[in-house]
Amino acid sequence: MAHADRLPAARLMGGIPPTALVLLGIVSVQVGAAFAKQLFTVAGSAGTVTLRLVMAALILVAIWRPTLRLDRRTLLTVLVYGTVLAAMNLCFYAALARIPLGAAVTIEFLGPLAVAVAGSRRWLDGLWVLLAGAGVVLLTGFQGGLLWTGVLFALAAGAFWAGYILVTAKLGSQTSDGQGLALAMVVGAVIALPFGITSAGTAMLDPLILAAGFAVALMSSVIPYSLELEALRRMPPRVFGILMSMEPVVAAIAGLLLLGEELKPAQWVAVCCVVIASIGSTRTAKPDV
């Protein structure tokens, strides 16, 4: 945005160390997820996703005022990005409705890990995959109430997250501002809308539910995206990736403190296994990965 460096928010973020920006973004996402889960009783998981995407789309469109003057290749990328975004969130929130937040995020994190080690033939990367796999086995094998449908939805969300990472890189190379993101968010909101209407019905029109959806959109989309973008301007991508590896731990803590979702000791070990695997794969990745 023009003159963005003069905006109070930009000046405020500029005075915060980039490491703190990433950690604040992670906390915002997971607190937003915990808050969203409390809406499931009135709007359902799909309804909550739809509210989040619609509100985020409105906010981003208001900020960037995108146009449709895109070449065919960029427009196709925007459509794919929006589709993957909607599918990833629908699957993740469906998992969240069935299993604890910490477990859902830990399993979903296998997606980015797969992207980090894809195509590698080094034994060390194979070790990270095995460690992450052991973590998931521990996570799913020590809690009788961990529904397999929730695990499958979390795995699907992880697969879409992997696709999201790849499409985000492509969109970033084809656009230079936030217009592509804003348009993709609109696409995602439109795709999610039928699921949300089926799940929530007229509850989506309740002013209190709309206000809650706005808060979820801010915490889970607008704020973390802004913080991460500013952080990436001032830190190497590899350091950013290592910090993002803390997300499963933060999710487990948010689930415990805000939702009362307790993990057993073996499951905390499982979360740590996936975090260590993610940090390890990021630190040992080749520079061109």
* CA proximity to 274, closest of 145, 105, 58, 146: 105
* CA proximity to 46, closest of 94, 81, 85, 84: 94
Residue 4 lies in a domain: no
Q: How far apart are CA 190 and CA 109, in angstroms?
A: 26
User: Across all residues in the chain, what is the average pLDDT?
Assistant: 86
Sign for the pseudo-dihedral over CA of 75, 78, 82, 87: positive
Q: How far apart are CA 53 and CA 244, in angstroms?
A: 22
* CA proximity to 171, closest of 146, 188, 191: 188
CA 206 vs CA 91, 120, 202: distances in Å:
24, 50, 7
pLDDT digits (tens, 9 = 90+) for 199-240: 998 888 899 999 999 999 999 988 887 787 778 777 777 777
Residue 12 lies in a domain: no
Residue 154 lies in a domain: yes
Range 151-174 average pLDDT: 88
pLDDT value for 222: 82
Q: How far apart are CA 42 and CA 48, in angstroms?
A: 9
* CA proximity to 113, closest of 43, 162, 74, 53: 162
pLDDT value for 154: 96
Residue 132 lies in a domain: yes
User: One-letter amino acid identity for 108?
Assistant: E
- Of the listed ranges 167-181, 196-210, 240-254, the one predicted with least confidence: 167-181
Q: How far apart are CA 108 and CA 156, in angstroms?
A: 8
pLDDT value for 256: 94
| Confidence band for 13, pLDDT divided at 50, 70 and 90 | low
According to DSSP, residue 183 is labeled H
Residue 45 lies in a domain: yes
Tokens of 92: 């993740």
Q: How many domains does the chain have?
A: 1
Range 22-50 average pLDDT: 94
Residue 2 lies in a domain: no
Task: Work out the burial of residue 265: count CB atoms within 10 Å of its CB; fewer than 13 is exposed, 13-18 middle, 19 or more buried.
Answer: exposed
Q: How far apart are CA 3 and CA 24, in angstroms?
A: 24
Residue 16 lies in a domain: no
Give the domain extent around 90. 21-283
Are 288 and 116 in contact, with CB atoms under 8 Å apart?
Answer: no
| Confidence band for 11, pLDDT divided at 50, 70 and 90 | low
Residue 89 lies in a domain: yes
Q: How far apart are CA 51 and CA 211, in angstroms?
A: 9
Report the Cα 194 to chain-centroid distance in Å: 22
Q: Which stretches within the chain are classed as H helix?
A: 8-14, 18-37, 40-64, 72-96, 101-108, 110-117, 123-141, 148-174, 179-200, 207-217, 223-232, 237-244, 247-259, 265-283
